[in-house]
Amino acid sequence: MSLPLVVLLPFLGAMAAPLFAQGGRTAIAIASTVPALIALAALFPHWQTLADGGVVLHTYEWLPAIGLSLSFRLDGLSLLFALLILVIGILIILYARYYLKPEENIGKFYGLLLCFKGSMLGIVLSSNLLLMMIFWEITSLVSFLLISFWTHKKGARRGARMALTVTGGGGLALLAGVLIIGQIVGSYELDDVLAAGPIIKAHALYPVALTLVLLGAFTKSAQFPFHFWLPHAMQAPTPVSAYLHSATMVKAGIFLLARLYPALAGTEQWFYMVSFTGMATLLLGAYIAMFKHDLKGLLANSTVSHLGLIVLLLGMGTELATVAALFHVINHATFKASLFMAAGIIDHETGTRDMRRINGLWRFMPHTATLAMVAAASMAGVPLLNGFLSKEMFFAESLALNLPGYWAWLPPIVATLAGIFAVAYSARFIHDVFFNGKPINLPIYPPHEPPRYMKIPVEILVFACLMVGMFPTISVGPLLYAASSATLGVPAPDYRLAVMHGFNLPLFMSFLAFFGGLLMYSQRKRFFAFHDRFREIDEKAIFEKVVFSLGLRANRFTTATENGSLQRYVMLLIVSALAVAFLPISKMGFFIGSNGLTPVDWPTATLGAVLIASALATAAMHRERFFALVLISVVGLLTALTFVRFSAPDLTMTQLSVEVVTVVLLMLALYYMPSWTPVESSRGRRVRDMGIALLAGSGMTIITLAILTQPFSSISEFFLANSKTGGGGTNVVNVILVDFRGFDTLGEISVLAIAALGIFAMLKNTTLTPPPGDGLGHAWARESHPTMLKQIARPMLPMALMVSAFIFLRGHNLPGGGFIAGLITAVALILQYIASGFSWTEDRIAMRYHNVIALGLLFAVITGAGSLAFGYPFLTSTFGYITWPVVGKFELASALVFDLGVYLAVVGATLMMLVSVGRINPHSAIRPVNSESSYGADTTTLTQRETE
Amino acid sequence: MELVFALAIGALTAGGVYLLLRARTFPVVLGLTMLSYGVNLFLFASGRLATGSQPVLGTAAQYADPLPQALVLTAIVIGFAMTAFVVVLSLRNLADHGNDHVDGDPKKRTPASKHARERRPL
């Protein structure tokens, strides 16, 4: 339980952090250390197991189908990184307490910092590669948010974006690499992957997988040529720079290399890709660092260089080099974090980070200066400090590398050269900042020592530098041994941690680097002049340019394809559908199945001919809208007839009643619209559209023919067999609707309700002025409610309702049911609106259609849920028979209540749709139009008129 | 019989597609309605054509496939809801733009990318 807890706690703390922000900076800082303290206490008991070379595993199943599990692993390597994350994290929290100003959003800052801590712990403790990927991505995201913490700064936003683009892109590559490894191994569990090293390395996809994984690691750890994001991430608050961008997150890539070392390392590809990348980064970072005038810029480039050093060591592939790499991880984290903190203090106290202005601070802040000088000396590799030890090991390893021929000289030369630069920029950090005359034009003058507690984290880290530097075996020996063994997968080789290894070649290289560096610094004016001759590459400008041109190209592509014309989109949609269907249909050709064609009888042929003719006529005469409306209603009626011809009486009834409602709706719409369509498209376009339509039509004909003549077996046998016995009804269609497939029906009436509400919302507060006539020169009829219609419509209502009730009740056994009955009721009510007007009807039928719809859905859901109460699945129906006087034996099914719900929903939805449209501007045709009146105002005037 | 049926579906589709491609909203609504007739008949056809065998138990010797019928029944109602929605959409378009062109106001057409172009990098 303890390992998931260690990962989870910081996230919980992140959620709680904003609450503590109320209590001020001290309160939140104290609260934020709690997760780390608990985590340290939780990890402590495992130490003995790890020191003995054991592994602690906690595995919980999560998504076994894709190989993702919540498995956590603690071994020497993850312990080393976890300790770095936790301990430096605590120091950073303390430091940030004094660094941040009280008016800043401290809740957000600490929350994000804790989120980062949790996800970073997640990376190092995950035992499942997919799980690790999740945490990996979270660190990229949180890093983005932390770099851009000061959102008002443009540089911070851009730097954050750059960091996210580079690390996020690398994350994608890494994910691909991890997936390939998972495919090769058949598992994402770390144990399996590490054990499968030989299989992975022998696999054909190994080069691809390795390249992708390295891309992920190199982007995260700012390796050349992806190093440029790290200096730009320095726009972040200094605690973030110290924590994420020097001590922990940028080490995630290195952690990954170390973690997958047994699985991936030891091949030529590994050696060349990793060591040469490291070498290039080492040299480039050290060189650039020398010429940066910004304190943090110098430190950032130095970080790049040191990360390159560690990567180079891992790339060498020898066991001792790996030990040295891990040792340098510890050392770099300690001295670089303290240097960043010192830089933050200087920035805080002087108001600038420009080394050309900050000079001679020794006199103002001797305490801070001493600390920074010790840390910088460690960075330079001065003896008795920890930086010296790992650098010495690095020099020794660079000599031991057996490259063929003259190439053997390359690693030692690069190492020494980088050492010279490192000494030079460290010397610059010390001399330029603390000595070298007087400060020039500081924004804050005179600078003071920072608050006492702000220096404590720096002191602790510097103390660690000294301890490791002087007593390496006692201070880090066991931890380093455990970490090395865990990384290599075998017990670590014999090595000796000592302050001095005697007078040998590595010592001479250190010597050379030290004095070479000092010499270089003393001649810095020449080097600066030399450097100034080259134009500096501004990675940010290039990056922005690339992003901008990418955006521009994407834009151009979008503009070319999407011009805002719906007409074109519809065309593209249909054409793509045709294109997709073309090949299979042309392969199949004109296909008649084994059932063959049945002979045509005359009535059917006539029906078909009229249907086809009226469909084509509608298309041809669509400009005359009223006429087209009449034609399309003919099509609808013939469709209804087709259904009844082919044994579907329910469909006919539905189609007929829908037809009526549709025509009423379209008539209402035409009242507001022009009555004719102008010629819009060119002749060529019409011919093109006809071609498309013809293709679509023939395609559908061919497919339909192929289907119709094909024998088939249907699952309907089940419905036919069980309709009466299981559903209690003989009308199988209705039983399917309300019983077998009741859930579908529930969904469908919900869609109906949503459409009705959408229409209601869309037309609310919309005004439309109808044209004075039909557009063809005829005025509207003067009398909007003809007496004849009124007189006939009123007695029709009870009759229609009776018919509807009859059809509803018989629906379970004979054609009919809730849908059809609902439509008939709706038609009957609509007739009242048409015949007698809006307010007349509303006065008499006081129904709120929202409520009707809601009631309908409620009935349906409650019936469905009712069966749950009896322990049956949702929407199980039951039925029984009762004998009524007069009527006789009558069936009562719970499905009937469900059907009642359907009925109400259909009535409510249909009426709401039509009434919403009718309401837009009622009666305006027979009166001078007041174009500004909304329907509310209009109804009142209307009522007045009627009462007059 | 099958040929007539298939031809009818073809005609409905062709007419529907042609109308869908028109520039004004009303023909598009008509096209959509006609296309849904065609689609409903097509779905119905998946149960094959049967004469005089309505799926009401006890009324025929053989029964037509009831499942496509049930599905088409709801499809008809939903199709109506969709038509109504599109009609209202076109009415709203008319109210907002003062014309019934499907592209809104074709003279003041806003390509999707125009908004994007206004957005400069941070």
- Summarised one tens digit per residue, pLDDT across range A53-74 is 889 999 999 998 888 999 999 9
Domain final position from A522, A553, A587: A522
Chosen from B29, B69, B71, B110 to mutate, greatest number of chain A CBs within 10 A:
B69
Put residue A71 in one of left, alpha, beta given phi > 0 → left and psi -120 to 50 → alpha: beta
Contact list, A545 vs chain B (CB under 8 Å): none
A163 at interface of B, judged by CB pairs closer than 8 A: no
- A32 within a domain of the structure (yes/no): no
pLDDT at B105 (0 to 100): 67
Average pLDDT over residues A376-401: 90
From A654's Cα to the closest Cα of chain B, the distance in A is 7
Give which of A334, A239, A529, A290 is closest to A432, Cα–Cα: A290
Between chains, do B80 and A662 touch, taking CB under 8 Å as contact? yes
In percent, how much of chain A has pLDDT > 70?
Answer: 95
- Whether residue A581 is found in the same domain as residue A516: no
From B88's Cα to the closest Cα of chain A, the distance in A is 6
Kindly give the interhelix angle for A505-522 and A410-434, rounded to the nearest 10 degrees: 40
Neighbours of A750 (CB within 10 A): 16
pLDDT beyond 70 at B21: yes
- Whether residue A505 is found in the same domain as residue A599: no
**CA A609 – CA A943 distance, rounded (Å):** 50
Domain of residue B20, residue span: 2-50+64-118
Nearest CA in chain A to B4: A608
- Whether residue A384 is found in the same domain as residue A503: yes
Q: What pTM, to 2 d.p., does this model score?
A: 0.69
A474 at interface of B, judged by CB pairs closer than 8 A: no
- Whether residue A505 is found in the same domain as residue A616: no
E strand or H helix at A327, and its extent? helix A319-350
Interface size, chain A vs chain B, as Cβ–Cβ contacts under 8 Å: 346
Burial of A580 (0-12, 13-18, 19+ CB in 10 A): exposed
Write out the two tokens for A634.
């003919």
pLDDT confidence of A688, banded at 50, 70, 90?
A: very high
Q: Which tens digit of pLDDT belongs to each residue from A96-121? A: 999 998 888 999 999 999 999 999 99
Contact list, B82 vs chain A (CB under 8 Å): 755
Q: Which tens digit of pLDDT belongs to each residue from A298-343? A: 999 999 999 999 999 999 988 899 999 999 999 999 999 999 999 9
- Whether residue A745 is found in the same domain as residue A701: no
Query: Tokens 């301890």 map to which residue?
Result: A467
- Whether residue A748 is found in the same domain as residue A834: yes
Residues 6+ apart with CB under 8 A from A636: A655, A658, A659, A662, A663, B33, B37
- Whether residue A407 is found in the same domain as residue A439: yes
* From B1, B37, B50, residue closest to A600, measured CB to CB: B1
- Whether residue A740 is found in the same domain as residue A705: no
- Whether residue A575 is found in the same domain as residue A639: yes
**CA A616 – CA A13 distance, rounded (Å):** 70
Residues 6+ apart with CB under 8 A from A366: none
Q: What is the DSSP track for A613-644?
A: HHHHHHHHTTTBHHHHHHHHHHHHHHHHHHHH
Q: Which amino acid is at B28?
A: V
pLDDT beyond 70 at B118: no
pLDDT at A882 (0 to 100): 66
Residues 6+ apart with CB under 8 A from B54: A647, A648, A649, A815, B60, B63, B64
E strand or H helix at A564, and its extent? none
Phi, psi of A63 (to 5 degrees): -125, 80
Specify the 3-state DSSP secondary structure of A813: coil
Average pLDDT over residues A809-818: 86
- A806 within a domain of the structure (yes/no): yes
Query: Tokens 């720079």 map to which residue?
Result: A241
Q: Which tens digit of pLDDT belongs to each residue from B47-76? A: 888 888 888 888 888 888 999 999 999 899
Over chain A, what is the mean pLDDT? Answer: 88
Between chains, do A666 and B87 touch, taking CB under 8 Å as contact? yes
Contact A300, A231 (CB under 8 A): yes
Contact list, A752 vs chain B (CB under 8 Å): 77-78, 81
* From B3, B7, B12, residue closest to A597, measured CB to CB: B3
**CA A312 – CA A395 distance, rounded (Å):** 12
A604 at interface of B, judged by CB pairs closer than 8 A: yes
pLDDT beyond 90 at A896: no
Contact list, A751 vs chain B (CB under 8 Å): 78, 81
From A369's Cα to the closest Cα of chain B, the distance in A is 38
Between chains, do A635 and B21 touch, taking CB under 8 Å as contact? no
**CA A287 – CA A664 distance, rounded (Å):** 81
From A814's Cα to the closest Cα of chain B, the distance in A is 6
pLDDT at A925 (0 to 100): 38
Nearest CA in chain B to A761: B88
From B89's Cα to the closest Cα of chain A, the distance in A is 8
**CA B51 – CA A647 distance, rounded (Å):** 6
- B55 within a domain of the structure (yes/no): no
pLDDT beyond 50 at B115: no
- B59 within a domain of the structure (yes/no): no
Residues 755-814 of A with CB under 8 A from B: 755-756, 758-759, 762-763, 766-768, 813-814
Q: What is the DSSP track for A422-476?
A: HHHHHHHHHHHHHSSS---S-SSSS--PPPHHHHHHHHHHHHHHHHHHH-HHHHT
Residues 130-159 of A with CB under 8 A from B: 154, 157-158
**CA A128 – CA A859 distance, rounded (Å):** 49
pLDDT at A928 (0 to 100): 37
Between chains, do A598 and B2 touch, taking CB under 8 Å as contact? yes
* From A625, A655, A736, residue closest to B76, measured CB to CB: A655
- Whether residue A620 is found in the same domain as residue A578: yes
Q: Which tens digit of pLDDT belongs to each residue from A566-610? A: 888 899 999 999 999 999 888 888 888 888 888 889 999 999 999
Put residue A880 in one of left, alpha, beta given phi > 0 → left and psi -120 to 50 → alpha: beta
Specify the 3-state DSSP secondary structure of B120: coil
Query: Tokens 């696999």 map to which residue?
Result: A203
pLDDT at B108 (0 to 100): 58
Write out the two tokens for A773.
């006539």
Pair type for strands A888-893 and A56-63? unpaired
Specify the 3-state DSSP secondary structure of A128: strand
- Residue B114 is part of a domain; what is its CATH number? 1.10.287.3510
Which residues does residue A354 pair with via DSSP β-bridges, in sequence order? A294
Write out the two tokens for A818.
């809730």
Between chains, do B80 and A677 touch, taking CB under 8 Å as contact? no
Contact A47, A483 (CB under 8 A): no
- A188 within a domain of the structure (yes/no): no
pLDDT beyond 70 at A18: yes
- B76 within a domain of the structure (yes/no): yes
Residues 6+ apart with CB under 8 A from A745: A737, A738, A860, A898, A902, B74
Contact list, A723 vs chain B (CB under 8 Å): 57, 66
From A615's Cα to the closest Cα of chain B, the distance in A is 6
pLDDT confidence of A924, banded at 50, 70, 90?
A: very low
Contact list, B78 vs chain A (CB under 8 Å): 748, 751-752
- B93 within a domain of the structure (yes/no): yes
From A444's Cα to the closest Cα of chain B, the distance in A is 31
Pair type for strands A68-74 and A879-884? unpaired
Residues 6+ apart with CB under 8 A from A725: none
- Whether residue A339 is found in the same domain as residue A377: yes
A750 at interface of B, judged by CB pairs closer than 8 A: no
Contact list, B79 vs chain A (CB under 8 Å): 658
* From A654, A701, A756, residue closest to B76, measured CB to CB: A654
Phi, psi of A61 (to 5 degrees): -75, 140
- A147 within a domain of the structure (yes/no): no
Q: Which tens digit of pLDDT belongs to each residue from A141-195? A: 999 999 999 999 988 998 999 999 999 999 999 999 999 999 999 999 999 999 9
* CA-to-CA separations, A279 to A304, A554, A767, in angstroms, rounded: 11, 37, 73
Contact list, A669 vs chain B (CB under 8 Å): 26, 29, 87, 90-91
Residues 685-724 of A with CB under 8 A from B: 689-690, 692-694, 696-705, 707-709, 712, 714-716, 719-720, 723-724
ipTM of the modeled complex: 0.90
Q: What is the DSSP track for A863-902?
A: HHHHHHHTTPPTT---EEEEEETTTEEEEEEHHHHHHHHH
Between chains, do A662 and B83 touch, taking CB under 8 Å as contact? yes
pLDDT beyond 50 at A772: yes
- B89 within a domain of the structure (yes/no): yes
Between chains, do B51 and A751 touch, taking CB under 8 Å as contact? no
From B107's Cα to the closest Cα of chain A, the distance in A is 11
- Based on the structure, what is the number of domains in chain A? 3
Between chains, do A704 and B22 touch, taking CB under 8 Å as contact? no
pLDDT at B104 (0 to 100): 74
* From B1, B69, B113, residue closest to A599, measured CB to CB: B1
Between chains, do B84 and A755 touch, taking CB under 8 Å as contact? yes
* A394 or A935, higher pLDDT: A394
Nearest CA in chain B to A675: B26
- B86 within a domain of the structure (yes/no): yes
Between chains, do A635 and B29 touch, taking CB under 8 Å as contact? no
> CA angle, A533 as apex, A531 and A535 as ends, to 5°?
90
Residues 6+ apart with CB under 8 A from A372: A338, A339, A342, A343, A346, A429, A430, A433, A434, A458
**CA A862 – CA A32 distance, rounded (Å):** 49
A565 at interface of B, judged by CB pairs closer than 8 A: yes
- A513 within a domain of the structure (yes/no): yes
Contact A388, A378 (CB under 8 A): yes
**CA A438 – CA A432 distance, rounded (Å):** 10
User: 3-class secondary structure for A332-343?
Assistant: HHHHHHHHHHHH
Residues 6+ apart with CB under 8 A from A883: A889, A890
**CA A248 – CA A243 distance, rounded (Å):** 6
From B61's Cα to the closest Cα of chain A, the distance in A is 12
| Eight-class DSSP state of A363 | G
A630 at interface of B, judged by CB pairs closer than 8 A: no
- A650 within a domain of the structure (yes/no): yes
Q: Which amino acid is at A552?
A: L
Nearest CA in chain A to B9: A701
- A212 within a domain of the structure (yes/no): no
**CA A388 – CA A324 distance, rounded (Å):** 12
- Based on the structure, what is the number of domains in chain B? 1
Residues A790-808 as b/e (b if ≥16 CB within 10 A, e otherwise) read: eeebeebbeebeeebeebb
pLDDT at A948 (0 to 100): 35
- A491 within a domain of the structure (yes/no): yes
pLDDT beyond 60 at B116: no
Between chains, do A574 and B21 touch, taking CB under 8 Å as contact? yes
**CA A550 – CA A539 distance, rounded (Å):** 16
pLDDT confidence of A648, banded at 50, 70, 90?
A: very high
- Whether residue A440 is found in the same domain as residue A316: yes
Contact list, A605 vs chain B (CB under 8 Å): 4
Average pLDDT over residues A425-442: 88
pLDDT confidence of A770, banded at 50, 70, 90?
A: confident
| Eight-class DSSP state of A126 | B
pLDDT at A436 (0 to 100): 84
Distance of CA A838 to the CA centre of its chain: 50
Which residues does residue A348 pair with via DSSP β-bridges, in sequence order? none
pLDDT at A506 (0 to 100): 86
Between chains, do A701 and B10 touch, taking CB under 8 Å as contact? yes
Q: Which tens digit of pLDDT belongs to each residue from A850-886? A: 999 999 999 988 888 877 777 777 777 777 666 666 6
Contact list, B24 vs chain A (CB under 8 Å): 677-678, 680
Q: Tell me the Cα Rg of chain B.
A: 21
Domain of residue A635, residue span: 566-680+691-710
Between chains, do B29 and A748 touch, taking CB under 8 Å as contact? no
Give which of A272, A262, A277, A301 is closest to A75, Cα–Cα: A262
